[in-house]
Amino acid sequence: MPRTAVVALGGNAITREGQSGTHSEQAANARAMAAAVCSLRDAGWQVVLVHGNGPQVGNLVIQQDEAAHEVPPLPLFCLDAMTEGQLGSLLTLALHEQAGDTLPGVVSVVTHVVVSPDDPAFTHPAKPIGPFLDREQADRLAAGGRWQVAEDAGRGYRRVVASPQPLDIVETEAIRALVDRGMIVTAAGGGGVPVVAEGRGYRGIDAVIDKDLAAQQLAQSLDAGALVLVTDVDQVLLDFGSPQQRPVTELTADEAQRHLDDGQFPEGSMGPKVRAAIGFVRGGGQAAVITSAQRAVRSLDGEPHPDDEVGTRIVAERVRLEGIS
């Protein structure tokens, strides 16, 4: 398989904080992400793109709820599939616009991700989706047990749903074949459509899988060389928000795990990215990078760069890589 990077973009990269999520806003943000993906491609990487869908699927749930008297609402796993198609189309068009006819192809794969029906996440929903709510809105929507709502990192209230651990990617071999053909592939969008094994096949189950953990699972399934977790900060910060706050450019998996255990990386922000990076490296991946889209290429090329030009790399051991293959 060619040198491959699995790149995970948050749903907030497509609907940014303070935006309402109009199509024109999402399209403009997708174009910015496409430019970063093409830079990785120009640097010699095959790219598999994974995107989040928290804002988009949450908004779609509200649309379904408000129109329930006219149109039967669909299960949450169906809405996962709908946003996977919508955002996959958005990114595909943006990539074609950015790269023109220089690409062999761009393909978006509706991806099903296997989870366990006994995952404890189903009894303890914690994944925030949709817009931020004030206390009055949250109380109203939670009334009667229709929604479960929780405060999200002090920024307001959001609906929370189950987010089980991904165990397997149903379409792995199809995605591998597309990458081998030189195509940019968007897959496991929004963490994929959660399914459980049943008989000879699968059935959907209501949840939203964390896209960083889905990207980790996909990267390991594809034997990818790198996992890139794109966020809106350039580097991971230790002691965030304190006078001792400081960026870090490289951590071993063990160091990252100690910081995670110490509560440095909350689940509502950097926690899932750090856990995904640790899991990828401990599973045999060469390096995971947490950074902004603009620093991704420099963080992977193995060349010496000033600390303020690269992101945070998580590796198995503290040895300098001569580029990641």
Q: How high is the pLDDT of residue 322? A: 47
Cα separation of 171 and 188, whole Å? 9
What would the DSSP string read from start to end of 115-160?
Answer: --TT-GGGTS--EEEEEEE-HHHHHHHHGGGS--EEE-TTS-EEEE
33, 14 in Cβ contact below 8 A? yes
Q: How high is the pLDDT of residue 17? A: 77
Go through 189-224 and write b for each residue having 16 or more CB atoms within 10 A of its CB, e for each that does not: bbbbbbbbeeeeebebbebbbbbbbbbbbbbbbbeb
Give the number of domains in the chain.
Answer: 2
Q: How high is the pLDDT of residue 89? A: 95
In a domain? residue 120: no
CATH number, domain with residue 242 = 3.40.1160.10
Q: How high is the pLDDT of residue 134? A: 85
What tens digit of pLDDT does each residue of 240-295 get?
888 889 999 999 999 999 999 999 998 767 889 999 999 999 999 989 999 988 89
Give the range of the structural domain holding residue 149, as residue numbers without chain letter.
Answer: 125-161
In a domain? residue 320: no
More confident residue, 155 or 318: 155
What tens digit of pLDDT does each residue of 136-168 get?
888 887 886 678 888 876 778 888 889 999 999
Residue 18 is among the residues annotated as catalytic for this protein:
no
Name the catalytic one among 52, 58, 127, 190. Answer: 127
Are both 24 and 156 inside the same structural domain? no
Are both 213 and 290 inside the same structural domain? yes
Mean pLDDT of 299-325: 77
In a domain? residue 189: yes
Are both 108 and 252 inside the same structural domain? yes
**pTM recorded for the entire structure:** 0.89
Cα separation of 291 and 59, whole Å? 27
Are both 208 and 99 inside the same structural domain? yes
Are both 33 and 157 inside the same structural domain? no
Q: Characterize the bridge pairing of strands 201-204 and 226-230.
A: unpaired
Q: Looking at 100, 133, 161, which one is the last position of a domain?
A: 161
In a domain? residue 324: no
Residue 12 is among the residues annotated as catalytic for this protein:
yes
Residue 11 is among the residues annotated as catalytic for this protein:
yes
In a domain? residue 322: no
Nearest Cα neighbor of 313 from 289, 294, 286, 277 is 289
Are both 180 and 102 inside the same structural domain? yes
Are both 73 and 204 inside the same structural domain? yes
Q: Characterize the bridge pairing of strands 112-114 and 168-169.
A: antiparallel
Are both 181 and 296 inside the same structural domain? yes
Are both 198 and 146 inside the same structural domain? no
In a domain? residue 66: yes
Are both 289 and 196 inside the same structural domain? yes
Mean pLDDT of 118-132: 88
Name the catalytic one among 53, 225, 273, 279. Answer: 273
Residue 54 is among the residues annotated as catalytic for this protein:
no
In a domain? residue 321: no
Q: Looking at 103, 138, 161, which one is the last position of a domain?
A: 161
Name the catalytic one among 130, 211, 285, 311. Answer: 211
Are both 232 and 134 inside the same structural domain? no
Residue 58 is among the residues annotated as catalytic for this protein:
no
Judged against a pLDDT cut of 90, whether residue 2 lies above it is answered with no
Cα separation of 186 and 107, whole Å? 6
In a domain? residue 279: yes
Cα separation of 234 and 199, whole Å? 46
Name the catalytic one among 11, 130, 225, 311. Answer: 11
Are both 153 and 203 inside the same structural domain? no
